[in-house]
Structure 1
Amino acid sequence: MLSTPPAVSLAGLLSEVHHLALNVKDMQASRYFYGTVLGLHELTGAEVPETLKNEVAAGKVANFRTPDGTIIDLFWEPDLTPPDPDPKKGFTRMNHFAFGIAPELFDRAVEVLHHYDVLIDHGPVTRPTGRGIYFYDPDGFLLEIRCNPAP
């Protein structure tokens, strides 16, 4: 017999995305992508969470902070392969995550992606909700840079 679920939820209790944890095949390529191409701050020294210090020191984990404070953890899994090496073929994983940018900086962000020959999935696109461009990181995770409509 199925029990009735409680009539409660976490609505109003959650405050933010604390961190995203991604498995990566090539730690060096991923660190370059998140640190150099995207320009995110890599946590070092005392910034590294105590629970991850040994893994970071061993090169198995890298941590990056986005401008809003969200942490992206990269976990090195060199033997992990997706069901299909073509990142454009979807499989069970997150669809994408998006970085926000000011409307006046959007075109510059697109230029940076092209400068580094980042694989673009599609875009830039313009919608009533703003503009976006979708692209892949070295492990085939779909990312987006998006902005709200210009004022």
Structure 2
Amino acid sequence: MSDAPKLGGIHHVAYRCKDAGATVEWYARVLGMDYVTAFAEDKVPSTGEDDPYMHIFLDAGGGNVLAFFELPNQPEMGRDANTPAWVQHIAFNVPDEAALLAAKAHIERQGVEVLGPTYHGIFRSIYFFDPNGHRLELACNIGTPEQHAELKTLAPDMLEEWSRTKRAPRQAAWLHTEPTSD
């Protein structure tokens, strides 16, 4: 029996923001998230450092919380210049394709540029950026139980081949071929 902890999900995920108030307003207006709580401290509780911050928490639905830190005494926030902008992102579930398309229309009406929908075999998604430069994704699951089972079966071999070759390994043939509607 493993001594590893039994996790009960993600308590919250935290990112940095440029302006806490503007971030709360944007997430409420664009994604309908409720602002649920905040902590403002002059000293960091875990380290004791003198570094004032505002830590805000937003309800992302389903018991999930998205949090941000505004750090006024730190250098201006940036991003990892060695990682493409499309890699690091936060993906949120929406119930179905109709909800995905409705969300896209709503977000575009807010003046936000949206990419997609993009087909990923077992889900479709749209992509856009928040005012802090964080890439966001809304995704709806479209995969069948059989497709999920096939991908789970292929996963160990795919990882082994990738680790050996650093090239895209064999995968389910249907994964990136969008079905045509007749």
TM-score scaled by length of structure 2: 0.60
1:64 counterpart = 2:58 = yes
Q: Identify the structure with bigger relative contact order (alpha carbons < 8 Å, sequence gap 6+).
A: 1
- Please say if 1:19 is aligned against 2:15: no
Mapped partners of 1:59, 1:132: distance in 2: 33
Counterpart of 1:101 (choices 75, 79, 94) is 94
**Bigger Cα Rg:** 2
Of 131, 134, 151, which residue of structure 2 is paired with 1:138?
131
User: Hey, what's the Cα distance between the residues in 2 that align with 1:137 and 1:18?
Assistant: 22
TM superposition shift of 1:137: 0.8
Structure 2 residue 24 is the aligned partner of structure 1 residue 28: no
Given the alignment of the two structures, is residue 74 of structure 1 paired with residue 68 of structure 2, yes or no? Answer: yes
CA–CA distance in structure 1, aligned partners of residues 130 and 120 of structure 2: 24
Task: Please tell me the residue identity of whatever aligns with 1:27.
Answer: A
8 Å Cα contact 1:83/1:91 also seen in 2: no
Q: Distance in 2 between matches of 1:99 and 1:14?
A: 20
Distance 1:21 1:106, change over 3 A: same
CA-to-aligned-CA distance 1:29-54 (integer Å, 9 cap, x gap): 211121221111111xxxx37xx2x4
Aligned to 1:117: 111
- Mark the CA change 1:76 to 1:124 in structure 2 (over 3 Å): closer, same or farther: same
Contact 1:131–1:149 (CA under 8 A) maintained in structure 2:
yes
Cα RMSD of the aligned pairs, angstroms, is 3.1
1:48-78 deviation per Cα after TM superposition (whole angstroms, max 9, x unaligned): 37xx2x44xx982321111111111121124
Moved segments of 4+, more than 6 Å: none
Write the letter of the residue equivalent to 1:73.
Answer: A
Q: Which residue pairs with 2:153 in the alignment?
A: none
CA-CA distance at 1:81 after TM superposition: 2.3
Unmatched runs of 5 consecutive residues or more in structure 1: 1-6
5+ long unaligned stretches in structure 2: 42-51, 145-182
Q: Distance in 2 between matches of 1:65 and 1:21?
A: 12
